[in-house]
Homo-oligomer: A and B are copies of this chain.
Amino acid sequence: MIRLSLDEVHQLAEAILRHHGFAEDHVQAVADAVFAGERDACASHGLWRLLGCIDTLRAGKVVPDAEPEVIDQAPAIVRVDARGGFAQVAFQRGVPVLVEKARQAGIAALAINHCVHFSALWAELEVLTEAGLVALACTPSHAWVAPAGGRKPLFGTNPIAFGWPRAGRDPFIFDFATSAIARGEIQLHERAGKAIPLGWGIDVEGQPSTDASAVLKGAMLTFGGHKGSALSAMVELIAGPLIGDLTSVESQAWDAGTGSSPYHGELIIALDPKRFLGDAVDEHLARAEALFAGIEDQGARLPSQRRYEARARSLKDGVEIPEKLYEDLRALLR
Protein backbone atom coordinates (compact mmCIF):
# COMPACT_ATOMS: atom_id res chain seq x y z
CA MET A 1 0.00 0.00 0.00
CA ILE A 2 1.05 3.60 -0.62
CA ARG A 3 0.20 6.25 1.96
CA LEU A 4 -0.90 9.66 0.64
CA SER A 5 -1.92 12.83 2.42
CA LEU A 6 -5.33 14.19 1.40
CA ASP A 7 -3.54 17.09 -0.29
CA GLU A 8 -1.58 14.59 -2.35
CA VAL A 9 -4.80 12.82 -3.32
CA HIS A 10 -6.27 16.06 -4.62
CA GLN A 11 -3.08 17.08 -6.39
CA LEU A 12 -2.72 13.70 -8.08
CA ALA A 13 -6.33 13.83 -9.31
CA GLU A 14 -5.87 17.39 -10.57
CA ALA A 15 -2.63 16.54 -12.34
CA ILE A 16 -4.16 13.59 -14.18
CA LEU A 17 -7.24 15.48 -15.28
CA ARG A 18 -5.21 18.51 -16.38
CA HIS A 19 -2.75 16.32 -18.26
CA HIS A 20 -5.64 14.89 -20.29
CA GLY A 21 -6.99 18.28 -21.27
CA PHE A 22 -9.95 18.83 -18.97
CA ALA A 23 -10.87 22.48 -18.53
CA GLU A 24 -9.84 23.88 -15.16
CA ASP A 25 -13.37 24.02 -13.67
CA HIS A 26 -13.83 20.32 -14.53
CA VAL A 27 -10.36 19.53 -13.15
CA GLN A 28 -11.25 21.06 -9.79
CA ALA A 29 -14.78 19.69 -9.55
CA VAL A 30 -13.90 16.12 -10.54
CA ALA A 31 -10.81 16.17 -8.29
CA ASP A 32 -13.06 17.30 -5.41
CA ALA A 33 -15.39 14.33 -6.03
CA VAL A 34 -12.58 11.78 -6.24
CA PHE A 35 -10.95 13.32 -3.16
CA ALA A 36 -14.21 13.02 -1.17
CA GLY A 37 -14.60 9.37 -2.13
CA GLU A 38 -11.02 8.50 -1.18
CA ARG A 39 -11.24 10.49 2.06
CA ASP A 40 -14.43 8.66 3.12
CA ALA A 41 -12.97 5.21 2.24
CA CYS A 42 -15.45 4.75 -0.61
CA ALA A 43 -12.70 3.30 -2.79
CA SER A 44 -15.02 2.73 -5.76
CA HIS A 45 -15.70 6.49 -5.84
CA GLY A 46 -12.12 7.48 -5.05
CA LEU A 47 -8.92 7.75 -7.08
CA TRP A 48 -9.73 4.46 -8.80
CA ARG A 49 -12.52 6.22 -10.70
CA LEU A 50 -9.97 8.35 -12.54
CA LEU A 51 -9.04 5.29 -14.61
CA GLY A 52 -12.66 5.15 -15.80
CA CYS A 53 -12.76 8.91 -16.36
CA ILE A 54 -9.80 8.76 -18.71
CA ASP A 55 -11.18 5.65 -20.46
CA THR A 56 -14.44 7.52 -20.98
CA LEU A 57 -12.53 10.49 -22.39
CA ARG A 58 -10.52 8.25 -24.75
CA ALA A 59 -13.75 6.62 -25.95
CA GLY A 60 -14.98 10.09 -26.90
CA LYS A 61 -17.84 9.77 -24.43
CA VAL A 62 -17.25 12.90 -22.33
CA VAL A 63 -16.65 16.53 -23.34
CA PRO A 64 -13.61 17.69 -21.31
CA ASP A 65 -14.38 21.40 -21.56
CA ALA A 66 -18.18 21.36 -21.58
CA GLU A 67 -19.75 24.65 -20.56
CA PRO A 68 -23.03 23.83 -18.77
CA GLU A 69 -26.11 25.89 -19.51
CA VAL A 70 -28.38 26.84 -16.59
CA ILE A 71 -32.07 27.08 -17.55
CA ASP A 72 -34.65 28.68 -15.25
CA GLN A 73 -37.36 26.21 -16.22
CA ALA A 74 -40.14 27.10 -13.77
CA PRO A 75 -40.52 28.89 -10.42
CA ALA A 76 -39.44 25.69 -8.62
CA ILE A 77 -37.44 23.92 -11.34
CA VAL A 78 -33.91 24.65 -12.50
CA ARG A 79 -32.43 22.63 -15.34
CA VAL A 80 -28.77 22.41 -16.17
CA ASP A 81 -27.70 21.08 -19.53
CA ALA A 82 -24.27 19.58 -18.85
CA ARG A 83 -23.60 19.42 -22.60
CA GLY A 84 -21.86 16.10 -22.40
CA GLY A 85 -19.46 16.95 -19.59
CA PHE A 86 -19.02 15.22 -16.26
CA ALA A 87 -21.90 16.01 -13.91
CA GLN A 88 -19.88 17.82 -11.24
CA VAL A 89 -19.59 21.26 -12.87
CA ALA A 90 -23.24 21.13 -13.95
CA PHE A 91 -24.22 20.33 -10.37
CA GLN A 92 -22.11 23.22 -9.05
CA ARG A 93 -23.74 25.65 -11.47
CA GLY A 94 -27.24 24.45 -10.60
CA VAL A 95 -26.93 24.37 -6.82
CA PRO A 96 -27.14 28.10 -6.04
CA VAL A 97 -30.31 28.35 -8.15
CA LEU A 98 -31.78 25.22 -6.53
CA VAL A 99 -31.08 26.53 -3.03
CA GLU A 100 -32.58 29.91 -3.87
CA LYS A 101 -35.71 28.32 -5.37
CA ALA A 102 -36.16 25.91 -2.45
CA ARG A 103 -35.88 28.78 0.04
CA GLN A 104 -38.33 30.83 -1.95
CA ALA A 105 -40.93 28.18 -2.90
CA GLY A 106 -40.37 25.67 -0.06
CA ILE A 107 -39.58 22.78 -2.41
CA ALA A 108 -37.68 22.80 -5.70
CA ALA A 109 -36.09 20.46 -8.22
CA LEU A 110 -32.76 20.46 -10.04
CA ALA A 111 -32.70 18.41 -13.24
CA ILE A 112 -29.25 17.81 -14.71
CA ASN A 113 -29.35 16.73 -18.37
CA HIS A 114 -26.84 15.25 -20.78
CA CYS A 115 -24.20 14.60 -18.17
CA VAL A 116 -21.69 11.80 -17.71
CA HIS A 117 -22.25 10.66 -14.16
CA PHE A 118 -20.00 8.57 -11.97
CA SER A 119 -19.85 10.24 -8.59
CA ALA A 120 -21.54 9.30 -5.32
CA LEU A 121 -24.85 11.05 -4.70
CA TRP A 122 -24.03 11.52 -1.00
CA ALA A 123 -21.33 14.02 -1.88
CA GLU A 124 -23.89 16.15 -3.71
CA LEU A 125 -26.43 15.88 -0.90
CA GLU A 126 -23.88 17.11 1.64
CA VAL A 127 -23.77 20.43 -0.23
CA LEU A 128 -27.54 20.76 0.24
CA THR A 129 -27.72 19.64 3.88
CA GLU A 130 -24.96 22.16 4.59
CA ALA A 131 -27.35 24.79 3.24
CA GLY A 132 -29.94 23.54 5.76
CA LEU A 133 -32.05 21.73 3.17
CA VAL A 134 -33.55 18.24 3.12
CA ALA A 135 -32.78 16.58 -0.21
CA LEU A 136 -33.45 13.54 -2.35
CA ALA A 137 -31.42 12.50 -5.41
CA CYS A 138 -31.52 9.70 -7.93
CA THR A 139 -30.14 8.74 -11.32
CA PRO A 140 -30.42 5.78 -13.70
CA SER A 141 -27.28 4.05 -14.99
CA HIS A 142 -26.83 1.28 -17.57
CA ALA A 143 -29.39 -1.52 -18.05
CA TRP A 144 -28.00 -4.37 -15.98
CA VAL A 145 -30.89 -5.21 -13.62
CA ALA A 146 -34.03 -7.26 -14.34
CA PRO A 147 -37.43 -6.16 -13.01
CA ALA A 148 -38.95 -8.47 -10.37
CA GLY A 149 -40.59 -11.37 -12.18
CA GLY A 150 -38.58 -10.73 -15.33
CA ARG A 151 -35.35 -12.14 -16.68
CA LYS A 152 -33.80 -9.48 -18.89
CA PRO A 153 -31.73 -6.42 -17.92
CA LEU A 154 -33.84 -3.27 -18.05
CA PHE A 155 -33.07 -1.07 -15.05
CA GLY A 156 -29.78 0.47 -14.00
CA THR A 157 -28.34 0.05 -10.52
CA ASN A 158 -30.37 3.24 -9.97
CA PRO A 159 -29.18 4.76 -6.69
CA ILE A 160 -31.48 6.68 -4.36
CA ALA A 161 -29.97 9.08 -1.83
CA PHE A 162 -31.50 11.18 0.92
CA GLY A 163 -30.04 13.85 3.17
CA TRP A 164 -31.27 15.53 6.36
CA PRO A 165 -29.36 18.43 7.96
CA ARG A 166 -28.30 18.16 11.63
CA ALA A 167 -27.14 21.25 13.49
CA GLY A 168 -23.52 20.88 14.57
CA ARG A 169 -23.31 17.25 13.42
CA ASP A 170 -22.67 15.23 10.30
CA PRO A 171 -25.91 15.06 8.30
CA PHE A 172 -28.16 11.98 8.19
CA ILE A 173 -27.45 10.69 4.68
CA PHE A 174 -28.11 7.43 2.94
CA ASP A 175 -27.18 6.54 -0.61
CA PHE A 176 -27.77 3.07 -1.96
CA ALA A 177 -28.17 1.22 -5.23
CA THR A 178 -31.61 -0.27 -5.83
CA SER A 179 -29.78 -3.32 -7.22
CA ALA A 180 -29.14 -6.06 -4.64
CA ILE A 181 -25.43 -5.32 -4.87
CA ALA A 182 -23.03 -3.10 -6.79
CA ARG A 183 -22.03 -4.47 -10.20
CA GLY A 184 -18.38 -4.05 -9.20
CA GLU A 185 -18.87 -6.57 -6.36
CA ILE A 186 -19.97 -9.23 -8.83
CA GLN A 187 -17.00 -8.40 -11.08
CA LEU A 188 -14.64 -8.76 -8.10
CA HIS A 189 -16.10 -12.21 -7.34
CA GLU A 190 -15.69 -13.20 -10.99
CA ARG A 191 -12.05 -12.13 -10.98
CA ALA A 192 -11.43 -14.05 -7.74
CA GLY A 193 -13.25 -17.13 -9.06
CA LYS A 194 -15.62 -16.99 -6.06
CA ALA A 195 -19.31 -17.88 -5.95
CA ILE A 196 -21.80 -15.05 -5.30
CA PRO A 197 -24.74 -15.38 -2.89
CA LEU A 198 -28.16 -16.30 -4.24
CA GLY A 199 -30.29 -13.20 -4.73
CA TRP A 200 -27.70 -11.06 -6.51
CA GLY A 201 -28.69 -12.17 -9.99
CA ILE A 202 -29.98 -14.63 -12.53
CA ASP A 203 -28.47 -16.34 -15.58
CA VAL A 204 -29.58 -15.81 -19.19
CA GLU A 205 -32.33 -18.39 -18.68
CA GLY A 206 -33.71 -16.33 -15.77
CA GLN A 207 -32.63 -18.93 -13.20
CA PRO A 208 -31.13 -17.85 -9.84
CA SER A 209 -27.36 -18.34 -10.01
CA THR A 210 -24.29 -18.19 -7.76
CA ASP A 211 -21.98 -18.02 -10.80
CA ALA A 212 -20.66 -14.45 -11.14
CA SER A 213 -19.91 -14.79 -14.87
CA ALA A 214 -23.36 -16.25 -15.55
CA VAL A 215 -25.01 -13.36 -13.71
CA LEU A 216 -22.91 -10.74 -15.52
CA LYS A 217 -24.15 -12.28 -18.79
CA GLY A 218 -27.70 -12.67 -17.42
CA ALA A 219 -29.12 -9.98 -15.18
CA MET A 220 -28.64 -8.52 -11.72
CA LEU A 221 -31.63 -8.38 -9.36
CA THR A 222 -32.98 -5.48 -7.31
CA PHE A 223 -32.80 -5.44 -3.53
CA GLY A 224 -36.06 -6.17 -1.69
CA GLY A 225 -37.92 -8.10 -4.40
CA HIS A 226 -40.89 -6.37 -6.03
CA LYS A 227 -40.56 -3.34 -3.72
CA GLY A 228 -36.98 -2.64 -4.75
CA SER A 229 -37.99 -3.25 -8.36
CA ALA A 230 -40.79 -0.68 -8.07
CA LEU A 231 -38.34 1.89 -6.66
CA SER A 232 -35.91 1.18 -9.48
CA ALA A 233 -38.68 1.80 -12.03
CA MET A 234 -39.47 5.07 -10.25
CA VAL A 235 -35.84 6.20 -10.64
CA GLU A 236 -35.93 5.37 -14.37
CA LEU A 237 -39.09 7.48 -14.73
CA ILE A 238 -38.34 10.57 -12.63
CA ALA A 239 -34.65 10.86 -13.52
CA GLY A 240 -35.32 9.77 -17.13
CA PRO A 241 -38.43 10.73 -19.13
CA LEU A 242 -39.70 13.25 -16.53
CA ILE A 243 -36.58 15.36 -17.05
CA GLY A 244 -36.30 14.58 -20.77
CA ASP A 245 -33.31 12.34 -20.38
CA LEU A 246 -32.28 8.74 -21.11
CA THR A 247 -33.43 5.57 -19.40
CA SER A 248 -30.78 2.98 -18.51
CA VAL A 249 -31.57 1.03 -21.69
CA GLU A 250 -31.13 4.16 -23.78
CA SER A 251 -27.94 5.17 -21.96
CA GLN A 252 -26.47 1.75 -22.62
CA ALA A 253 -27.37 1.95 -26.31
CA TRP A 254 -25.59 5.31 -26.50
CA ASP A 255 -22.54 3.73 -24.85
CA ALA A 256 -22.30 1.31 -27.79
CA GLY A 257 -20.11 -1.15 -25.93
CA THR A 258 -17.32 1.26 -24.99
CA GLY A 259 -17.84 0.58 -21.26
CA SER A 260 -17.94 4.30 -20.49
CA SER A 261 -19.68 5.97 -17.54
CA PRO A 262 -23.44 6.32 -18.02
CA TYR A 263 -24.61 9.35 -20.01
CA HIS A 264 -27.99 10.55 -18.83
CA GLY A 265 -29.72 12.80 -16.27
CA GLU A 266 -30.11 13.23 -12.55
CA LEU A 267 -32.97 14.57 -10.46
CA ILE A 268 -32.43 16.32 -7.13
CA ILE A 269 -35.34 17.54 -4.99
CA ALA A 270 -34.66 20.00 -2.16
CA LEU A 271 -37.08 20.89 0.64
CA ASP A 272 -36.60 23.79 3.04
CA PRO A 273 -37.60 22.95 6.65
CA LYS A 274 -37.82 26.67 7.41
CA ARG A 275 -40.54 27.12 4.80
CA PHE A 276 -42.44 24.06 6.01
CA LEU A 277 -42.19 24.96 9.70
CA GLY A 278 -41.63 28.71 10.04
CA ASP A 279 -40.74 29.73 13.59
CA ALA A 280 -41.29 26.17 14.87
CA VAL A 281 -38.36 24.80 12.85
CA ASP A 282 -35.96 24.30 15.77
CA GLU A 283 -38.56 22.55 17.91
CA HIS A 284 -39.35 20.04 15.16
CA LEU A 285 -35.74 19.44 14.09
CA ALA A 286 -35.08 18.55 17.75
CA ARG A 287 -37.75 15.82 17.42
CA ALA A 288 -35.77 14.40 14.47
CA GLU A 289 -32.78 14.20 16.82
CA ALA A 290 -34.92 12.12 19.20
CA LEU A 291 -35.56 9.69 16.31
CA PHE A 292 -31.82 9.39 15.63
CA ALA A 293 -31.20 8.78 19.35
CA GLY A 294 -33.89 6.06 19.23
CA ILE A 295 -31.89 4.33 16.49
CA GLU A 296 -28.48 4.67 18.11
CA ASP A 297 -29.61 3.92 21.68
CA GLN A 298 -30.60 0.41 20.67
CA GLY A 299 -27.21 -0.31 19.11
CA ALA A 300 -28.26 0.28 15.50
CA ARG A 301 -26.15 2.58 13.34
CA LEU A 302 -27.09 5.60 11.31
CA PRO A 303 -26.31 5.34 7.59
CA SER A 304 -23.00 7.00 6.58
CA GLN A 305 -21.56 6.47 10.07
CA ARG A 306 -18.75 4.32 8.71
CA ARG A 307 -18.04 7.01 6.13
CA TYR A 308 -17.79 9.76 8.75
CA GLU A 309 -15.46 7.62 10.87
CA ALA A 310 -13.23 7.03 7.85
CA ARG A 311 -13.27 10.76 7.15
CA ALA A 312 -12.07 11.58 10.64
CA ARG A 313 -9.22 9.06 10.27
CA SER A 314 -8.25 10.31 6.79
CA LEU A 315 -8.16 13.95 7.87
CA LYS A 316 -5.68 12.95 10.56
CA ASP A 317 -3.62 10.25 8.89
CA GLY A 318 -4.21 10.53 5.16
CA VAL A 319 -5.19 7.45 3.14
CA GLU A 320 -3.62 4.27 1.81
CA ILE A 321 -4.13 3.05 -1.73
CA PRO A 322 -2.86 -0.15 -3.40
CA GLU A 323 0.57 0.25 -4.99
CA LYS A 324 -0.79 -1.17 -8.27
CA LEU A 325 -3.47 1.53 -8.37
CA TYR A 326 -0.87 4.20 -7.62
CA GLU A 327 1.24 2.96 -10.52
CA ASP A 328 -1.74 2.87 -12.88
CA LEU A 329 -2.56 6.45 -11.89
CA ARG A 330 1.05 7.63 -12.32
CA ALA A 331 1.03 5.98 -15.76
CA LEU A 332 -1.82 8.30 -16.74
CA LEU A 333 0.60 11.22 -16.30
CA ARG A 334 2.98 9.99 -18.95
Contact A162 B234 (CB under 8 A): yes
Contact A300 B148 (CB under 8 A): yes
Contact A303 B162 (CB under 8 A): no
Bound complex: CA of A147 vs CA of B297, how far in Å?
A: 11
Determine whether A215 belongs to the interface, using a CB cutoff of 8 Å to chain B: no
Contact B107 A295 (CB under 8 A): no
Contact A154 B237 (CB under 8 A): no
* Chain B residue nearest in CB terms to A301: B149
Chain A interface: which size bin?
Answer: 35 or more
| Chain B residues with CB below 8 A from A243, complex form | 276-277
* Surface stretch bound by B, among A4-12, A43-51, A74-82: A74-82
The dominant DSSP class at the A interface is mixed
| Chain B residues with CB below 8 A from A148, complex form | 300
Contact A238 B271 (CB under 8 A): yes
Contact A284 B105 (CB under 8 A): no
Q: Which of A262-306 contact B (CB under 8 A)?
A: 269, 271, 273, 275-277, 280, 284-285, 287-288, 290-291, 294-295, 298-301, 303
Min distance, Cβ A266 to any Cβ of chain B, angstroms: 13
Contact B76 A105 (CB under 8 A): yes
Min distance, Cβ A225 to any Cβ of chain B, angstroms: 7
| Chain B residues with CB below 8 A from A294, complex form | 154, 249
Contact (A106, B74) CB under 8 Å given A162-B230, A298-B152: yes
11 contacts between A and B (CB under 8 A): A75-B106, A77-B105, A109-B271, A150-B300, A160-B231, A172-B237, A224-B224, A229-B300, A240-B291, A243-B276, A247-B287
